[in-house]
Amino acid sequence: MSLKIPRYDINLEPSMSKHPDFNRKSILMHTQSGFKSEIIAIVPLTAHEKLFHIRICDPCERENFAFLPGQFVMLELPGCGEVPISISSSSSNKEFIALCIRKVGKVTGMLHRLKPGTIVGIRGPFGTHFPMEKMVGHNILLIAGGLGIVPLRSPIYWVNEHRSDYGDITVMYGAKEPGQILFGYQFEEWRRIYGLNILTIVQNAGKGRQGKEGIITDLFDDIDIDSDNTFAVVCGPPVMFKFVCAHLSKSGLPRQRMFVSLERRMHCGMGKCCRCNVGSTFTCLDGPVFDYWTVMNLKEAI
Amino acid sequence: MNLGYTMKVVRIDKKNWVGDIENLSRSYRLFGPVKDDNFHRFEELDKDKLPDLDYFNTRLSPKSIVYPQSETMFEYCLDERKKDHHVMKEASKDYSQRAVIGIRPCDAAAFLLVKRNFDTPECKDPYWVKAYEATTFVGLACNNPHSACFCTTAGCGPFHEDGLDILLIDAGNHYFAKIITSKGENLLKAAGWDTKVDAGKEIESMKQNAETGITSFIATNKLKDKITADLFDAPFWEDMAFACINCGTCTYACPTCWCFDIQDEVHGCSGTRMRNWDSCMYPLFTLHGSGYNPRNTGMQRVRQRFMHKLKYYVDKYDNGIQCVGCGRCVSLCPVNIDIRKICNTMNSYEK
C-alpha cells in the first residue's frame, strides 16, 4: 500500500488545484473561528484520563477537516475556555477525532463532568507534524512517557494503516503505575495484527504484577537500535527528553532523526499571543514537533 | 503609503483649533491625550472635549486605541433552549474611521513594530488589523523630549515620521502639519486645513534642536551578530533581575508589548470570550497544566522579556530592536531596572 499523501497531478485538476500544504500555516485564516462539534462518546481510561470522541457537526466541514499525526487542535468549551490538545485518533478517520484529556485544570475539569451530546468547538488543526513521509522505509522507535502516548497514538495508527511502508516499529512506553497505562487495551491488537513491538515499563509495579519495573531508559537494554535506519519519536514530560535522547545519541542515532513533541501553554494557536515562544520560535507555529537538533540549540526548550 | 511628491506642509492657526477639531469629529471618532490626575492618558474624546497637547508622554502608551486592554472577541449563549447555543459568534465592533490626535512619534512607530507580529502573511489578527487600518495617526513632534527618552538611538526620533499620517509641529501660535500619507491627506480635507506654507527649513531646525535635547543613548549595533546562546547564558542576568519584583508594569506601559491572554466570562446564560493584555513577567504566563513551568524563576522571566525585545525580535525580523525608546519602563519601574543599561550590557557582552 502506498502513502496516502496526495501528490500534485495535473490530470486531477481542478479538484487538486491547490497544492496540499500540511504545515497549514497558509490556511490559518480559516481556523480563527471554531467548528461546531459534538462530543459523541466519552471513554474513561484511568482515574484521571478520559478519551473524548468529538464529531464536527457540519458534514462538509467534517469532510474537509484533515490533519497529520502530531498536530493539535484547540478544544473550546464555551463558558470555560479553550485548551490545546493533541489529536490521538487516526488521520484517516473522517467520522470523529479522539482527544485524550487528563483532568488538571478549569477547562479539563469541566470536560470531565460533561456528558455525550455536549456541544463544543474545535479550532485547528495547528502546528507541525511527525515527518511520516520521511520515515518511509525506515524502522521507527516511538518512545512515550505517561501522557506522552497521547500524541503518539496518531502516528501509531498511521504506521498501522501503511504498515508495509515501514520497517520494524517499536513502541516504548513508561508510566508511573500499572493503573496509569493508557490504551493498554489496544496493545494486543497492535502487537498481533500489525506486528508492533510494544515494551512497557512502570516505575512502581505494585503487588503481583508481572512485567518490568524501572524507568523508561531501562527499556533500551531490551532493544537493538539499527542507528543507520531508524527514526525516533519521543514524547513525555520535559525531564524525559534529555535522558532518552542522550541514550539514543549514544546508540548512534543522529539528532536530526529524533523528533520530540514539546508542550507549552498556548492560547491563540496562531503565533500571536506569544506565550509559547521558545527563543524566537513559536511552539504553536514552528512546533510542537521539533527535531532534537533544533531543540538542543534552542534555549529553554526542554 | 507614502505620498510620492514632496511633502506638503500646512499651517494651522491655534485660534481655529477648536473649530477644526469639531469639523474632524463629524467624520472621525477622535482619540487624544487628556489630563488625568498628574498624568495624561489617551481616551476617546467626547464632543467638545479637546486633546490636551501640552504633555510630555502619557503614562500608558496609546496602544489600547488599536489593541484594547480587554477586548471581546466572541459572544455565545449557554441557554440550551435557544438556537445555536454554545456556538461562538463574532462580537460586533465599531471599526469606523478614527483618528488619534497628538500621538508621539515613538508611540506611532511602535505600532509598526507590533504590526510585524499581528499582520503576517500566514495570519492576520483580524481585530488588530481592522482597528489599525481604520486609524489615522496625527502625531505631535516632541520639541522638548523627556529626560528618559532615548528614541534617537532606538530607531526613532522626536520628529520621526514612520507610522504617522500627519505630523503636527507646535510652533508657538500655530501648528505646522506635515502630510505624510494619503490617509493624512483625507483627514486634512475633513478638517479644512488648506493654508499651504513652505516651512521646510524651519521644521528642520526645530527637529535638530529637539534631537539635541535627547541626552540618553543606547548602543544596538552589535546585538544582531551576538550568538543567542551566549547572551542567554551570560552571567549578568542574575544581577539585572535581582531587584525585579515581577510586577509587570513595564509590559503594560510598553507600546511594543503585545502578549495577550484569552479568557471566558459568563453572566447568566450569555458569555463572552475576551482577550486581555498579559505579561511575561508573571509565572502563570507559561505555567503548564502539569505544574511544570519553563520559566519558573523571576530571572528567567526578566531574561525572556529583554531577550525578546533586544535579541529574538532583532533576529526574527532583521529590522532593529523591539523598542522605540519612549522611556516609560525606565521612569515607571519601581525598582529602577533600566532597559538602556541592559541593552548596552548585551550589546557589549563578550563571552
Model pLDDT for residues A136-186, shown as the tens digit of each residue:
999 999 999 989 999 999 999 999 999 999 999 999 999 998 888 899 999
d(CA A6, CA A13): 12
Q: What is the dihedral of CA B123, B124, B127, B131, to 10 degrees?
A: 170
Say how far apart CA A120 and CA A114 lie, in whole Å.
Answer: 10
Q: Residues with Cβ < 8 Å from B37, sequence gap 6 or more?
A: none
What is the predicted pLDDT for the residue at B195? 86
What does the alpha-carbon distance between residue A40 and residue B244 come to, in Å, rounded to a whole number? 49
How long, in residues, is chain A?
Answer: 302
Half-sphere exposure of A68 (CA within 13 A, CB side): 18
- Tell me the HSE value of A78 on the side-chain side, using a 13 A CA sphere: 30
Q: Report the pLDDT value the prediction gives residue B167, as an integer from 0 to 100.
A: 93
Could A297 and B260 be called an inter-chain contact, meaning their C-beta atoms sit closer than 8 Å?
no
C-alpha cell of A33?
473561528
Q: Which of A28, A74, A267, A298 to mutate to test the interface with B (most CBs of B within 10 A)?
A: A267
Residue A4's pLDDT band (cuts 50, 70, 90): low
Q: Is the previous residue joined to A125 through a cis bond, with omega within 30 degrees of 0?
A: yes
| Chain A residues lying within 8 Å of B88, measured CB to CB | 33-34, 76, 78, 121
Residue for grid cell 504506521: A159
> Into which CATH architecture does domain A139-295 fall?
3-Layer(aba) Sandwich (3.40)
Selected for mutation to probe chain A from B123, B295, B318 (highest A CB count within 10 Å) is B123
Phi, psi of A286 (to 5 degrees): -90, -10
* Residue partners of B256: CB distance under 8 A and separation at least 6: B110, B113, B114, B309, B322, B323, B324
Instruction: State pLDDT tens for residues B31-52.
Output: 999 998 889 999 999 888 889 9
For B344, the 3-state DSSP assignment is: helix
Q: Give pLDDT, residue B54.
A: 87
Chain B residues touching A80 at Cβ < 8 A: 264
The predicted pLDDT at position A40 comes to: 94
B119 forms beta bridges with: B124
| pTM of model > 0.90 | no
Task: Please state whether beta strands A230-235 and A139-145 pair in parallel, antiparallel, or not at all (unpaired).
Answer: parallel
How confident is the model at residue A10, as a pLDDT? Answer: 53
CB atoms within 10 A of CB B292: 14
Where do we find the cell 513551568?
B293
Q: What pLDDT, on a 0 to 100 scale, did the predictor assign at position A61?
A: 85
Strands A277-278 and B98-103, how do they pair? unpaired
Cell (9 digits) for B143:
520639541
Closest CA to A67 of A34, A28, A37, A22: A22
Average pLDDT of span A224-246: 91
Predicted ipTM of the assembly? 0.85
- The burial of B321, by beta-carbon neighbours within 10 Å (0-12 exposed, 13-18 middle, 19 or more buried), is given as buried
A238 to chain B, any CB pair closer than 8 A? The answer is: yes
d(CA A113, CA A121): 17
Residue from B285, B347, B275, B283 nearest B314 by CA: B347
In the predicted model, what is the mean pLDDT of residues A103-130? 91
- Break chain A into its structural domains and give their ranges: 33-126, 139-295
Q: How close, in Å, is residue B141 to chain A by CA atoms?
A: 31
Mean pLDDT by 10 residues, chain B (351 residues): 64 90 91 91 89 88 93 90 86 92 94 93 88 94 90 92 93 91 91 87 91 91 91 92 93 94 91 93 91 92 94 91 93 93 93 83
CA distance A202 to A204: 6
Judging contacts by C-beta atoms under 8 Å, the chain B residues touching residue A279 are: 228, 307, 312
CATH topology of domain A33-126: Elongation Factor Tu (Ef-tu); domain 3 (2.40.30)
Measured distance CA(B226)–CA(B307) in Å, rounded: 12
Give the Cα separation of A137 and A191 in Å (integer).
Answer: 20
Burial grade of B180 (CB within 10 A; 0-12, 13-18, 19 or more) = buried
Stretch (H or E) spanning A123: strand A119-126
- Rounded distance between C-alpha atoms, residue B49 and residue B101, angstroms: 12
Query: In the structure, what pLDDT confidence band is assigned to residue A16 with cuts at 50, 70 and 90?
Result: very low
Residue A90 has pLDDT above 80, yes or no: yes
By the CB < 8 Å criterion, does A265 face chain B?
yes
Which residues 267-296 in chain A show a CB within 8 A of chain B? 267-268, 270-275, 277-280, 285
* Alpha carbons B286 and B264: distance in angstroms, whole number: 18
Q: Where are the alpha helices (DSSP H) in chain A?
A: 59-64, 106-111, 149-161, 184-194, 238-250, 283-286, 292-296
